[in-house]
């Protein structure tokens, strides 16, 4: 008997979840070690990404936003409305390493935040379709309306709103954190306290902006113009590349900054790990278009990070 109605895949091998969780914990530790060597602001930004991810996921699951998580070792909350700690770590890792890349390019604030969001989405596009079929998380298509297949609805079983949310979360957090970091105080102690507080304030402001984007604004756009998640996602997929490209064009000289190994190790793991499970789990034969776009997204991720590191000095540690 399958774990969810109309889902033809059973649970993955027993080692899948522990292996996934262990790898994400290791990546988070590596990110934390880099942040620790770099300074208070970096540590705070990484931990803020962790906190924002945990808060976001917990609120969504607790409020019955339409999906549940599988059971990992470290969970926050009470089953079935609990979330894996490693998911929050994943948010922190992706947000942190994306910013390291955009910072290295010397982009203006809005362009850097747009690039952060696109880098994060590139990872999520590789991860979600596969992780969903591994039952790491599950969207409740059975109760969303008649005739919706859990494997073909919207983006191969992934709601368009999920990708729209990814773009908004990373863009808001990156924008507000960078903006608040521009505020300076006299005195070393006060400056460090402000650096530590900045992510918390960024989380609160970002959560408010996200709520407005996902609820009042979305309701108004749908009722007034018939605009749904797909159209909002397409709009951001047009807007954010334009903002990023304009930022690159305004940046005449690139700072000679070494990119740490974690900036390619983290996205490399997410892409390759879930791409491997696409075949190990037997999902590649399900839908030719799904497999095609998975391969295309992997190649896009490889190109982005190859191009990013190609024009920089040798990768640091």
Q: What is the pLDDT of residues 86-136, one digit of tens each?
A: 999 999 999 999 999 999 888 999 999 999 999 999 999 999 999 999 999
| Cβ-contact 133, 283 below 8 angstroms | yes
pTM of this structure: 0.92
**Residue 64: its pLDDT value, please?**
66
**Residue 253: its pLDDT value, please?**
60
Instruction: Identify the helix (H) or strand (E) that includes residue 19.
Output: helix 16-38
**Pick from 276, 24, 5: nearest CA to 130:** 276
**Residue 315: its pLDDT value, please?**
42
The token duo for 131 is 């992780």
| Cβ-contact 267, 305 below 8 angstroms | yes
The alpha-carbon radius of gyration of the chain (Å, integer) is 19
**Residue 79: its pLDDT value, please?**
77
Distance CA 85, CA 87 (A): 5
**Residue 316: its pLDDT value, please?**
43
CB neighbour class for 196 (10 Å; exposed up to 12, middle 13-18, buried from 19): middle
Residues in the chain: 317
**Residue 257: its pLDDT value, please?**
67
**Pick from 93, 89, 46, 87: nearest CA to 203:** 46
The token duo for 206 is 């970002």
Binned average pLDDT, 10 residues per bin, the chain of 317 residues: 76 95 97 93 93 89 77 88 93 96 91 96 95 91 78 93 95 96 83 84 93 91 92 97 92 68 94 97 95 96 82 45
290 SS3 class: helix
**Residue 81: its pLDDT value, please?**
81
**Residue 317: its pLDDT value, please?**
40
């Amino acid at each position: 008997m399958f774990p969810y109605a109309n889902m033809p895949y059973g649970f993955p091998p027993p080692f899948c979840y522990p292996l996934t969780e262990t790898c994400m914990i290791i990546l988070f530790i590596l990110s934390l070690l880099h942040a620790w060597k770099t300074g208070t602001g970096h540590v705070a930004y990484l931990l803020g990404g962790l906190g924002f991810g945990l808060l976001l996921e917990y609120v969504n699951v607790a409020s019955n936003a339409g999906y549940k998580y599988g059971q990992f070792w470290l969970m926050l909350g009470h089953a079935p409305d609990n979330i894996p700690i490693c998911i929050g770590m994943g948010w922190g890792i992706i947000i942190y390493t994306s910013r390291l890349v955009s910072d290295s390019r010397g982009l203006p604030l809005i362009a850097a935040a747009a690039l952060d969001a696109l880098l994060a989405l590139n990872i999520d596009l590789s991860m979600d379709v596969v992780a969903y079929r591994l039952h790491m998380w599950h969207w409740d298509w059975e109760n969303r309306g008649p005739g919706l297949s859990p494997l073909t609805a919207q983006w191969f079983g992934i709601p368009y709103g999920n990708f729209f949310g990814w773009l908004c979360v990373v863009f808001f957090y990156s924008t507000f954190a960078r903006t608040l970091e521009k505020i300076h105080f006299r005195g070393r102690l006060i400056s460090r306290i402000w650096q530590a507080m900045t992510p918390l304030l960024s989380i609160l402001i970002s959560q408010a902006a996200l709520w407005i984007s996902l609820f009042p604004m979305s309701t108004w756009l749908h009722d007034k113009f018939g605009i749904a998640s797909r159209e909002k996602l397409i709009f951001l997929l047009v807007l954010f590349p334009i903002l990023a490209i304009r930022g690159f064009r305004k940046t005449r000289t690139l700072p000679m900054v070494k990119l740490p190994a974690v900036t390619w190790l983290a996205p490399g793991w997410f892409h390759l790990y879930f791409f491997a499970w696409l075949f190990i789990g037997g999902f590649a034969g399900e839908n030719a278009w799904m497999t095609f776009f998975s391969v295309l997204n992997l190649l896009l991720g490889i190109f982005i990070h190859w191009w990013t590191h190609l024009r920089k000095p040798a990768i640091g540690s």
